[in-house]
């Protein structure tokens, strides 16, 4: 494979775990045969961006350009691209490449492929450089990893669906959440609020567990039937042993044994939250009632498209607060205080 030419675009990066993000430029490749070049219009702010920018997971290479909830306009396509043409609106989530031939890719589970390339924090095989995310003017991505966006939805509010949306949709589908199932969503942040919307849309009975009493009314408005303030032992005790499924979308250390005790026998708790430190698990919390604990990582490309189409049909988007690129450091501080309703989205015109 010959190396494509690179050109440079404006971006925002962190240069060390403790440095604030600041303006920079990064290289992008000229589109190759199957590539779609996208001018980024909006980029959602995921808590993973913060974990990554501050090297909380230990694999960040600096400079780090986060951002994997990307909505933009196609500006150029390679000669073999069939799905997109210049002028189309397109989305990019957490994945930008994989071999597409391994058993995981063939099952539509590109996120578990050994060759999976993440939108940021991986290596770009074309330029042999780290991948850089959506806090930037533009991005170039193989068309397999570019999503079609329903025409009826607000574009800024669609951006968070590319990560927060699919990360909650996929495990709710996998664990067959639907009518007759009692479902708990832990943590009403970017992921959690989408989990509530999807669990409700799938017909389940939905209970939100939150540490923030001020979010009670919002949780109901978003679709919850009931809200439990998780720091209130009496409220928690009322629900012990009653849930079929719990989705844990908490970004920080917390006691998952307390949520395992909320499950009915044979119930499942799926972690999507990825806190910096390991979470201790009591074996008694699992063996009493044959309960299971599992995890889930975003979703494959076909399922992501299915989720977007579902959102188009049901008019589902994220509740967002728009920010300028230069407000990102302040947004991170607010996210750490659980003070976001319910996803920050960067208006990328502010980077120009």
Cβ-based nearer residue to Zn ion, 141 or 207: 141
| Nearest-angstrom CA–CA distance, 81 and 95 | 18
Cβ pair 123, 131 in contact under 8 A: yes
Give the range of 5-13, 211-219, 260-268, 326-334 binding ligand NAP by CB under 6 A: 211-219
28 binds ligand NAP (CB under 6 A): no
70 binds ligand NAP (CB under 6 A): no
Least CB distance to ligand NAP at residue 85 (A): 30
Cβ pair 269, 183 in contact under 8 A: no
SS3 (DSSP) at 25: strand
Give the range of 161-169, 192-200, 239-247, 264-272 binding Zn ion by CB under 5 A: 161-169
188 binds ligand NAP (CB under 6 A): yes
Stretch (H or E) spanning 8: strand 6-13
Give the range of 32-40, 148-156, 248-256, 321-329 binding ligand NAP by CB under 6 A: 248-256
Least CB distance to Zn ion at residue 191 (A): 8
Cβ-based nearer residue to ligand NAP, 35 or 56: 56
Q: Is 175 left (phi over 0), alpha (psi -120 to 50) or beta?
A: alpha
Q: How many CA atoms lie within 13 A of 342 on its CB side?
A: 27
CA dihedral sign, ordered 64, 70, 72, 75: positive
185 binds ligand NAP (CB under 6 A): no
Q: Which of 67, 184, 267, 273 binds ligand NAP (CB under 6 A)?
A: 273
Count, residues near ligand NAP per rule CB under 6 A: 32
Burial grade of 85 (CB within 10 A; 0-12, 13-18, 19 or more): exposed
DSSP 132-184: --SSBSEEEEEGGG-EE--TTS-HHHHGGGGTHHHHHHHHHHHTT--TT-EEE
Least CB distance to ligand NAP at residue 38 (A): 21
190 binds ligand NAP (CB under 6 A): yes
Which of ligand NAP, Zn ion, none sits in contact with 67, Cβ below 5 to 8 A by type?
none
Give the range of 38-46, 123-131, 148-156, 170-178 binding Zn ion by CB under 5 A: 38-46
The values of phi and psi at residue 242, to 5°, are -120, -5
Applying CB under 6 A, the residues found at the interface with ligand NAP are 46-48, 51, 163-164, 167, 187-192, 210-212, 215, 249-252, 254, 272-275, 296-298, 335, 338, 340
Applying CB under 5 A, the residues found at the interface with Zn ion are 46, 48, 163
């Amino acid at each position: 494979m010959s190396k494509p030419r690179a050109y440079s675009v404006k971006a925002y990066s962190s240069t060390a775990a403790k440095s604030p993000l600041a303006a920079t430029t990064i290289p992008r490749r000229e589109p190759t045969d199957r590539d779609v070049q996208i001018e980024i219009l909006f980029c959602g702010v995921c808590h993973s961006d913060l974990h990554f920018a501050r090297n909380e997971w230990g694999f960040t290479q600096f400079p780090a350009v986060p951002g994997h909830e990307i909505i933009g306009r196609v500006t150029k396509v390679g000669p073999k691209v069939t799905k997109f043409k210049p002028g189309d609106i397109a989305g990019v989530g957490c994945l930008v490449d994989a071999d597409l031939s391994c058993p995981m890719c063939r099952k539509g589970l590109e996120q578990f492929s050994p060759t999976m390339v993440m939108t940021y924090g991986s290596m770009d095989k074309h330029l042999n450089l780290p991948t850089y995310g959506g806090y930037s003017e533009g991005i170039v991505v193989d068309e397999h990893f570019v999503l079609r966006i329903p025409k009826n939805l607000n574009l800024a509010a669609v951006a968070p669906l590319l990560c927060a949306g699919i990360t909650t949709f996929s495990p709710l589908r996998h664990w067959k959440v639907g009518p007759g199932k009692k479902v708990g969503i832990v943590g009403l942040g970017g992921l959690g609020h989408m989990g509530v919307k999807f669990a409700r849309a799938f017909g389940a009975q939905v209970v939100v567990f939150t540490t923030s009493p001020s979010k009670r009314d919002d949780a109901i408005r978003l679709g919850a039937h009931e809200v439990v303030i998780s720091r209130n032992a009496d409220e928690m005790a009322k629900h012990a042993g009653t849930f079929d499924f719990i989705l844990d979308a908490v970004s920080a250390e917390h006691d998952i044994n307390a949520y395992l005790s909320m499950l009915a026998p044979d119930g499942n708790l799926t972690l999507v939250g990825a806190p910096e430190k390991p979470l201790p698990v009591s074996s008694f919390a699992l063996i009493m009632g044959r309960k299971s604990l599992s995890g889930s990582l975003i979703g494959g490309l076909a399922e992501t498209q299915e989720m977007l189409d579902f959102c188009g049909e049901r008019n589902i988007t994220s509740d967002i607060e728009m920010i300028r690129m230069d407000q990102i450091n302040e947004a991170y501080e607010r996210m750490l205080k659980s003070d976001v309703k319910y996803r920050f989205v960067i208006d990328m015109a502010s980077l120009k």
